[in-house]
Structure 1
Amino acid sequence: MPLTQSIYESAEALNTEFAAEIAGKLATGIAERGRASLMVSGGRTPLPLFKALSHADIDWSKVDVSLVDERWVDESSDASNTRLVKDNLLVNNAAAARFIEMKSAEADAADAVIACEARLAAMSQPFDVLILGMGEDGHTASLFPCSEQLAAGLQMDSGRVCIATQPTTAPHQRMSLTLPAIVASRNIYLHLTGDKKRQVLEDAVANATATEKPIVAVINAAQVTLKWAP
């Protein structure tokens, strides 16, 4: 499917306008279905967006928030996306939202897949807003081209919402949404900044297969809106 692109002059402009757009989608979900759901990614790129969004004037008590993927580490770790979201998004007005954690006490993420799926099943679905990032290797969520679990994660008829993955080019075991869970979302965004990421994306779309650059699998299967600034 074609990639819809929203290009901004600056990251500040992107974050301000994107936060307003997300808030509008969540408000619509609340108005139409009683609750709304927001799935977010970790990393450095979304931090200013999270801070802007946390001030949105919506009924956050009717919003469920969770993660597109999580590193299988304790929340005390700097690598924890849970920690990142709690510190940067679930503050100010957004502190009233209900957070659904991916991470649980199991030592092996593979032993926690069914329980994670059960927690996410309590959220309003299809997810109202899902925000992806992308690595320089073309991975998105924790669907890595180097991971032996990639084929299972990309299988559209798997019936799975979550999958445990173990990248070989990045630290930590992960829990990730599967491709079918991602593409079922009502509004799917790819949030990138910088020329390098834009070039990786353009090269992936033009030249790579879904297994070589997993972001291509999402773009091929769903309507995705790119939010990009230099």
Structure 2
Amino acid sequence: MGYQLFEFENLKDCHKALIERFKEFFNTALKKHHQVSIAFSGGRSPISLLQKLSVLDLKWHECLISLVDERIIDTNHDDSNTKLLHDYLLQNNALKASFIPLLPKKISSDTNALFNFANQHFKQPHLAILGMGTDGHTASLFPETSAFLNEEKENIVLTKPANAPYERLSMSINALENCEKLFLSISGAQKRGVLENALKENAPYSLPIARILHSQKVTTEVFYAKN
């Protein structure tokens, strides 16, 4: 368990390698389970990767797509991760995949109801593709939130980041560790510094990504591009 680090000079080569591993995992998991479940992170960074994945010649009709995290906003909002996946991943060949939403179509102001909806509809992914912020957050598990520190039994947790907009729903540490594999995609010198800090044996558990990278339950394959 723990992590494997793969380094590349540029994002193009990094994405190429990640896509090859994605195809390999997809086909292996499909043979094993007869259906493959994959969770994707949001944000702007993965757009080009999502577009490349959408055209892969895979048995997408046997795939369940879900979100690692979501902002509690209308799913048609430009900041919605649901909209992001529909715009960039659930297109082309990947349009045949089934999507499991974290939020209902009509967003209630009752966050407890949204929390319950997300957990009731949760399907444990075989693979989750993660990103990382310069503060060491991953999914919507932020350093200043307490959700990731607790031994959460729920698969989805409600978080309220202090330095980022919107309340959010996020896969818990527990749910991430129950994946068969995690992919982490990052680029740039600043995030490399955060990664190196998180990889130290005495890495502070205030960094959510450190909790993942030092997990004894799941291996994270880290794909790092210098530029």
Structure 1 length-normalised TM:
0.90
- Change in Cα spacing, 1:191 to 1:202, as seen in structure 2 (3 Å) is same
- Change in Cα spacing, 1:55 to 1:4, as seen in structure 2 (3 Å) is same
**Match of 2:184?**
190
**Match of 1:153?**
148
Q: Distance in 2 between matches of 1:194 and 1:13?
A: 14
Map Cα deviations across residues 63-96 of structure 1 (whole Å, 9 max, x no partner): 0001110011112212111111111111110010
Q: Distance in 2 between matches of 1:20 and 1:65?
A: 18
Q: Which amino acid aligns with 2:122?
A: L
Whether contact under 8 Å (2:198, 2:213) holds in the other structure is no
What secondary structure does 1:228 align onto? strand
Q: Distance in 1 between matches of 2:20 and 2:198?
A: 29
**Match of 2:214?**
220
Q: Which amino acid aligns with 1:12?
A: K
The aligned length equals 221
Q: Distance in 2 between matches of 1:198 and 1:192?
A: 8
**Match of 1:137?**
135
Q: Which moved more, 1:60-69 or 1:112-121?
A: 112-121
Q: Distance in 2 between matches of 1:179 and 1:110?
A: 20
Gaps (5+ residues) in structure 1? none
After superposing on structure 2, the runs of 4+ consecutive aligned residues of structure 1 that deviate more than 6 Å are: none
Structure 2 length-normalised TM:
0.91
Q: Which amino acid aligns with 2:113?
A: D
User: What pairs with 1:16-35 in structure 2 (closer than 5 Å)?
Assistant: 16-35=16-35
Q: Which amino acid aligns with 1:209?
A: P
Map Cα deviations across residues 191-211 of structure 1 (whole Å, 9 max, x no partner): 10111111111123336421x
Q: Distance in 1 between matches of 2:80 and 2:24?
A: 28
Pairing partner for 1:109 from 91, 108, 111 = 111
Q: Which amino acid aligns with 1:107?
A: S
User: What pairs with 1:26-175 in structure 2 (closer than 5 Å)?
Assistant: 26-104=26-104, 105-121=107-123, 125=124, 127-147=125-145, 150=146, 152-156=147-151, 158-175=152-169
What secondary structure does 2:121 align onto? helix
What secondary structure does 2:31 align onto? helix
Whether contact under 8 Å (1:179, 1:218) holds in the other structure is yes
Map Cα deviations across residues 170-228 of structure 1 (whole Å, 9 max, x no partner): 10000001001001101111110111111111123336421x21111111223211111
Q: Distance in 1 between matches of 2:40 and 2:110?
A: 23
Kindly state the Cα deviation for residue 23 of structure 1 after the two structures are TM-superposed: 2.1
Gaps (5+ residues) in structure 2? none
Whether contact under 8 Å (1:139, 1:213) holds in the other structure is yes
